[in-house]
Amino acid sequence: MTLASASAAGLVLMEGTVWSVVLGGVFGVLTGLAVPALIARVPEPVSEPEATAEQDLEPDRSTPIKPTYVDISRRPALGAASSAAAGLCGALIGWRLDLGWELTAWLLFLPLGIALAIIDAKTKLLPSYLIKPAYVVLVPVIYLPLVVAQDWETVKRTTLAWLVYGGIFFLMWFIYPRGLGYGDVRLAGLLALLLGLVGWAELIVSFYATFLLGPILMLVLNGFSIRGRQLPFGPFMLLGALIGLTFGRWVLSTWLV
């Protein structure tokens, strides 16, 4: 790659300013500190009663016991780790997006995304207690400025991305529910709204990053054993979304054009 093409790629990649990077980083650091408290507020899932008294006396030891949300929130240094991760992600988001409604929507989702990644990694669950209110907040934040500005092209792209990306995950869940939880479907809808708001390149690269990096990382974490333990998919979706947002336009403009 020549110096000129590298410079052009950098212009395609970065649209944010110093202020948006600082805002994203500081916002991430501060809201990341609140992630443990957010996790602790999630109600525990209602467990089904055992069918017989014998099952009460002899619990199924083959199924690992999931930690409670309060236990997860009390992990040592979780607040510091969440703050650091959210600060880094916030700076990357601000590096990619300039000050505006797009940046606002992504930063509002940021602490929730960190919390969901932690919860899913520990419990293999994505609680609707957190995801459903996110729709209530993000849908108006995303659509109202577009409607006021009469930016119907972005409205159509965002909605179509929501339907297509969310529909793909719904179809996968419908065909093989054991391989994908419905929480993943709900999360896919949120990510589709955020990615579709920015552009098709970001959505497409996010999709491929999720489904390429996910299996590779699963193999690595399982010691390259195909029959290793099943890993949660939510963290890979969130990582794929960050990759798609940060590098999506650069990947398509540099390698596919």
Q: Which has the closest alpha carbon to 246: 212, 192, 211, 209? A: 209
Given this model, what pLDDT does residue 51 score? Answer: 39
Whole-model pTM?
Answer: 0.85
Q: Is 68 left (phi over 0), alpha (psi -120 to 50) or beta?
A: beta
d(CA 132, CA 128): 5
CA–CA distance from 154 to each of 194, 197, 236 (Å)? 11, 6, 26
pLDDT of residue 53: 39
Q: CA–CA separation, 32 vs 24, rounded Å?
A: 12
Q: What is the pLDDT along the chain (257 residues), one digit of tens a residue?
A: 433 343 344 444 566 689 999 999 999 999 999 999 999 999 998 764 443 334 444 444 445 678 899 999 999 999 999 999 999 999 999 999 999 999 999 999 999 999 999 999 999 999 999 999 999 999 999 999 999 999 999 999 999 999 999 999 999 999 988 878 899 999 999 999 999 999 999 999 999 999 887 777 766 665 544 455 567 889 999 999 999 999 998 888 887 65
pLDDT tens-digit series, residues 105-118: 999 999 999 999 99
Helices (H), the chain: 3-13, 18-32, 35-40, 53-57, 69-73, 78-96, 101-123, 128-148, 152-175, 182-198, 200-221, 234-255
- pLDDT of amino acid 63: 53
